Amino acid sequence: MRTVERKPRSAIPSLVMHREATIEPRQEILRTAARLFQQRGYDATSMNDVAAALKFSKGGLYHHFQSKDEILYDIMSHAMEITEERVINVARRVEGAEERLRTLIRLHIEVVLSVEDREITVMLHENHPLPPALRRKINGRKKDYVHFVENVVADVQRQRNSSSPVTPRAAAFALLGMINWIYQWYKPDGLLTGEALVRQYTEIFFRGAVG
Protein backbone atom coordinates (compact mmCIF):
# COMPACT_ATOMS: atom_id res chain seq x y z
CA MET A 1 0.00 0.00 0.00
CA ARG A 2 1.39 3.34 -1.04
CA THR A 3 1.97 5.68 1.85
CA VAL A 4 1.02 9.31 1.56
CA GLU A 5 3.44 11.90 2.80
CA ARG A 6 1.69 14.15 5.29
CA LYS A 7 2.62 17.67 6.17
CA PRO A 8 2.65 18.53 9.88
CA ARG A 9 -0.91 19.85 10.10
CA SER A 10 -2.30 17.49 12.69
CA ALA A 11 -5.42 19.56 13.25
CA ILE A 12 -6.77 18.44 9.86
CA PRO A 13 -8.36 14.97 9.93
CA SER A 14 -6.22 12.31 8.31
CA LEU A 15 -8.92 11.36 5.78
CA VAL A 16 -9.13 14.92 4.51
CA MET A 17 -5.36 15.20 4.37
CA HIS A 18 -5.18 11.97 2.39
CA ARG A 19 -7.64 13.30 -0.18
CA GLU A 20 -5.83 16.62 -0.47
CA ALA A 21 -2.47 14.86 -0.85
CA THR A 22 -3.54 12.38 -3.54
CA ILE A 23 -5.12 14.82 -6.04
CA GLU A 24 -3.97 18.00 -7.70
CA PRO A 25 -5.73 20.27 -5.22
CA ARG A 26 -5.85 23.58 -7.05
CA GLN A 27 -7.10 22.06 -10.30
CA GLU A 28 -9.70 20.01 -8.46
CA ILE A 29 -10.85 23.06 -6.51
CA LEU A 30 -11.17 25.16 -9.66
CA ARG A 31 -13.19 22.54 -11.52
CA THR A 32 -15.49 21.91 -8.58
CA ALA A 33 -16.00 25.62 -7.91
CA ALA A 34 -16.68 26.23 -11.61
CA ARG A 35 -19.37 23.56 -11.55
CA LEU A 36 -20.96 25.05 -8.43
CA PHE A 37 -20.77 28.62 -9.76
CA GLN A 38 -22.41 27.43 -12.97
CA GLN A 39 -25.19 25.54 -11.20
CA ARG A 40 -25.94 27.89 -8.31
CA GLY A 41 -24.42 31.19 -9.35
CA TYR A 42 -21.38 32.86 -7.86
CA ASP A 43 -23.21 34.88 -5.20
CA ALA A 44 -25.16 31.86 -3.96
CA THR A 45 -22.06 29.67 -3.56
CA SER A 46 -19.96 29.99 -0.42
CA MET A 47 -16.45 28.82 0.37
CA ASN A 48 -18.09 26.32 2.73
CA ASP A 49 -20.10 24.94 -0.22
CA VAL A 50 -16.92 24.46 -2.24
CA ALA A 51 -15.14 22.78 0.65
CA ALA A 52 -18.09 20.47 1.31
CA ALA A 53 -18.33 19.43 -2.35
CA LEU A 54 -14.64 18.54 -2.30
CA LYS A 55 -14.85 16.86 1.13
CA PHE A 56 -12.13 19.27 2.19
CA SER A 57 -11.82 20.91 5.55
CA LYS A 58 -12.44 24.65 5.41
CA GLY A 59 -8.83 25.16 6.49
CA GLY A 60 -7.66 22.88 3.70
CA LEU A 61 -9.50 25.00 1.13
CA TYR A 62 -8.11 28.26 2.51
CA HIS A 63 -4.63 26.75 2.32
CA HIS A 64 -4.94 26.91 -1.48
CA PHE A 65 -7.20 29.94 -2.02
CA GLN A 66 -7.68 32.88 0.32
CA SER A 67 -11.03 34.01 -1.09
CA LYS A 68 -13.84 33.23 -3.50
CA ASP A 69 -12.65 36.13 -5.67
CA GLU A 70 -9.29 34.44 -6.06
CA ILE A 71 -10.97 31.19 -7.12
CA LEU A 72 -13.15 32.98 -9.69
CA TYR A 73 -10.18 34.91 -11.09
CA ASP A 74 -8.14 31.71 -11.46
CA ILE A 75 -11.08 29.99 -13.17
CA MET A 76 -11.36 32.84 -15.66
CA SER A 77 -7.60 32.97 -16.22
CA HIS A 78 -7.59 29.24 -16.93
CA ALA A 79 -10.56 29.70 -19.25
CA MET A 80 -8.64 32.31 -21.23
CA GLU A 81 -5.64 29.97 -21.37
CA ILE A 82 -7.90 27.25 -22.81
CA THR A 83 -9.25 29.68 -25.41
CA GLU A 84 -5.77 30.90 -26.33
CA GLU A 85 -4.29 27.40 -26.58
CA ARG A 86 -7.15 25.55 -28.27
CA VAL A 87 -8.62 28.28 -30.44
CA ILE A 88 -6.33 31.23 -31.11
CA ASN A 89 -3.00 29.42 -31.33
CA VAL A 90 -4.43 26.67 -33.53
CA ALA A 91 -6.30 29.08 -35.81
CA ARG A 92 -3.17 31.21 -36.27
CA ARG A 93 -1.42 28.27 -37.90
CA VAL A 94 -4.18 27.64 -40.45
CA GLU A 95 -3.39 28.73 -44.00
CA GLY A 96 -6.02 30.79 -45.79
CA ALA A 97 -8.36 33.37 -44.28
CA GLU A 98 -11.61 31.45 -44.88
CA GLU A 99 -10.29 28.20 -43.52
CA ARG A 100 -8.85 30.06 -40.52
CA LEU A 101 -12.28 31.53 -39.74
CA ARG A 102 -14.03 28.18 -40.20
CA THR A 103 -11.51 26.57 -37.87
CA LEU A 104 -11.97 29.32 -35.28
CA ILE A 105 -15.76 28.85 -35.29
CA ARG A 106 -15.45 25.07 -34.92
CA LEU A 107 -12.87 25.19 -32.15
CA HIS A 108 -14.68 27.84 -30.14
CA ILE A 109 -17.92 25.87 -30.29
CA GLU A 110 -16.10 22.71 -29.24
CA VAL A 111 -14.62 24.49 -26.21
CA VAL A 112 -17.99 25.92 -25.16
CA LEU A 113 -19.63 22.49 -25.48
CA SER A 114 -16.87 20.66 -23.61
CA VAL A 115 -18.22 19.15 -20.40
CA GLU A 116 -14.71 19.11 -18.97
CA ASP A 117 -14.22 22.84 -19.44
CA ARG A 118 -16.88 24.37 -17.25
CA GLU A 119 -14.47 27.25 -16.62
CA ILE A 120 -15.50 28.65 -19.98
CA THR A 121 -19.17 28.96 -19.07
CA VAL A 122 -18.31 30.53 -15.73
CA MET A 123 -16.16 33.06 -17.58
CA LEU A 124 -19.07 33.88 -19.87
CA HIS A 125 -21.54 34.98 -17.23
CA GLU A 126 -19.78 35.52 -13.90
CA ASN A 127 -17.30 38.26 -14.79
CA HIS A 128 -19.08 41.05 -12.90
CA PRO A 129 -18.42 39.84 -9.31
CA LEU A 130 -14.66 40.30 -9.65
CA PRO A 131 -13.00 43.29 -8.01
CA PRO A 132 -12.29 46.03 -10.60
CA ALA A 133 -8.53 45.40 -10.85
CA LEU A 134 -8.99 41.68 -11.53
CA ARG A 135 -11.93 42.30 -13.85
CA ARG A 136 -9.78 44.65 -15.96
CA LYS A 137 -7.15 41.93 -16.38
CA ILE A 138 -9.69 39.40 -17.61
CA ASN A 139 -11.44 41.93 -19.83
CA GLY A 140 -8.09 42.88 -21.38
CA ARG A 141 -7.57 39.27 -22.48
CA LYS A 142 -11.14 39.08 -23.77
CA LYS A 143 -10.56 42.21 -25.85
CA ASP A 144 -7.43 40.64 -27.34
CA TYR A 145 -9.56 37.72 -28.49
CA VAL A 146 -12.20 40.03 -29.99
CA HIS A 147 -9.47 41.85 -31.92
CA PHE A 148 -8.10 38.55 -33.19
CA VAL A 149 -11.54 37.50 -34.46
CA GLU A 150 -12.08 40.96 -35.94
CA ASN A 151 -8.85 40.71 -37.92
CA VAL A 152 -9.71 37.23 -39.20
CA VAL A 153 -13.13 38.45 -40.37
CA ALA A 154 -11.54 41.47 -42.07
CA ASP A 155 -9.14 39.16 -43.93
CA VAL A 156 -12.04 37.04 -45.18
CA GLN A 157 -14.03 40.08 -46.29
CA ARG A 158 -11.03 41.42 -48.21
CA GLN A 159 -10.34 38.07 -49.83
CA ARG A 160 -13.96 37.78 -50.94
CA ASN A 161 -14.26 41.44 -51.98
CA SER A 162 -17.28 41.36 -49.72
CA SER A 163 -20.02 43.93 -50.13
CA SER A 164 -21.46 43.12 -46.72
CA PRO A 165 -22.44 46.23 -44.71
CA VAL A 166 -21.39 44.38 -41.54
CA THR A 167 -18.10 45.71 -40.17
CA PRO A 168 -15.45 43.25 -38.94
CA ARG A 169 -15.86 44.55 -35.40
CA ALA A 170 -19.63 44.12 -35.37
CA ALA A 171 -19.21 40.70 -36.97
CA ALA A 172 -16.69 39.64 -34.32
CA PHE A 173 -18.99 40.62 -31.45
CA ALA A 174 -21.95 38.94 -33.17
CA LEU A 175 -20.04 35.71 -33.76
CA LEU A 176 -18.64 35.46 -30.23
CA GLY A 177 -21.99 36.36 -28.68
CA MET A 178 -23.75 33.75 -30.79
CA ILE A 179 -21.30 31.03 -29.81
CA ASN A 180 -20.95 32.03 -26.17
CA TRP A 181 -24.72 31.82 -25.65
CA ILE A 182 -24.84 28.16 -26.70
CA TYR A 183 -24.26 26.89 -23.17
CA GLN A 184 -27.56 28.48 -22.08
CA TRP A 185 -29.75 26.32 -24.28
CA TYR A 186 -27.77 23.42 -25.74
CA LYS A 187 -28.81 19.90 -24.73
CA PRO A 188 -26.21 17.16 -25.43
CA ASP A 189 -29.00 14.59 -25.86
CA GLY A 190 -31.10 16.88 -28.08
CA LEU A 191 -31.71 16.66 -31.81
CA LEU A 192 -29.00 19.18 -32.68
CA THR A 193 -25.57 17.58 -32.45
CA GLY A 194 -22.36 19.49 -31.89
CA GLU A 195 -21.22 18.76 -35.45
CA ALA A 196 -24.52 20.02 -36.87
CA LEU A 197 -24.22 23.13 -34.74
CA VAL A 198 -20.77 23.86 -36.13
CA ARG A 199 -22.02 23.47 -39.71
CA GLN A 200 -25.08 25.64 -39.21
CA TYR A 201 -23.34 28.42 -37.31
CA THR A 202 -20.63 28.51 -39.95
CA GLU A 203 -23.27 28.73 -42.67
CA ILE A 204 -25.16 31.49 -40.88
CA PHE A 205 -22.04 33.55 -40.39
CA PHE A 206 -20.54 33.11 -43.86
CA ARG A 207 -23.82 33.91 -45.58
CA GLY A 208 -24.55 36.95 -43.44
CA ALA A 209 -21.39 38.67 -42.26
CA VAL A 210 -18.77 37.91 -44.89
CA GLY A 211 -20.86 36.96 -47.88
pLDDT tens across 77-118, in order?
A: 999 999 999 999 999 999 999 999 999 999 999 999 988 887
Contact (Cβ atoms closer than 8 angstroms) between residue 103 and residue 94? yes
Give the model's pLDDT for residue 136. 93
Q: What range does the domain containing 34 cover?
A: 14-66
Residue 34 lies in a domain: yes
Q: What percent of the chain has pLDDT over 90?
A: 62
Q: For residue 210, what pLDDT is reported?
A: 73
The gap from C-alpha 135 to its chain's centroid, in whole angstroms, comes to 15
Q: Residue 129 falls within a domain, yes or no?
A: yes
Residues 127 and 200 in one domain: yes
Integer angstrom CA distances of residue 22 from 26, 29, 91, 190: 12, 13, 36, 37
Whether 184 has a pLDDT exceeding 70, the answer reads: yes
Fill in the DSSP letter of residue 23: S
Residues 6+ apart with CB under 8 A from 102: 202, 206
Are residues 80 and 34 part of one domain?
A: no
Residue 187 has pLDDT above 80, yes or no: yes
Q: Are 84 and 33 in the same domain? A: no
Which pTM does this prediction carry? 0.81
Residues 58 and 77 in one domain: no
- Judge whether 130 and 69 are in contact, CB under 8 Å: yes
The whole-number pLDDT of residue 207 equals 85
Spatial CB neighbours of 26, under 8 Å, sequence gap ≥ 6: 64, 65, 74
The verdict on 54 and 104 lying in the same domain is no
42 and 109 part of one domain: no
Average pLDDT score over residue span 65-80: 93
CA gap 110, 61 in Å, rounded? 31
Residue 19: give its domain's CATH number: 1.10.10.60
Are 174 and 105 members of one domain? yes
Q: Same structural domain for residues 144 and 204?
A: yes
Residue 6 lies in a domain: no
Q: Is there a domain that residue 83 lies in?
A: yes
**Is residue 59 a part of any domain in this protein?**
yes
* Overall number of domains in the chain: 2
How much is the average pLDDT of 9-26?
50
More confident of the two residues 49 and 12: 49
- pLDDT higher than threshold 90 for residue 67: yes
Q: Are residues 172 and 202 in the same domain?
A: yes
- Whether residue 124 is contained in a domain is answered as yes
Q: Are residues 97 and 157 located together in one domain of the fold?
A: yes
Q: Is 4 within a domain?
A: no
**Residue 37 placed within a domain:** yes
Of 66, 92, 109, the residue that ends a domain is: 66
- Does 11 have pLDDT greater than 80? no
186: domain CATH number is: 1.10.357.10
Using the predicted structure, report yes or no on whether residue 19 has a pLDDT greater than 70: no
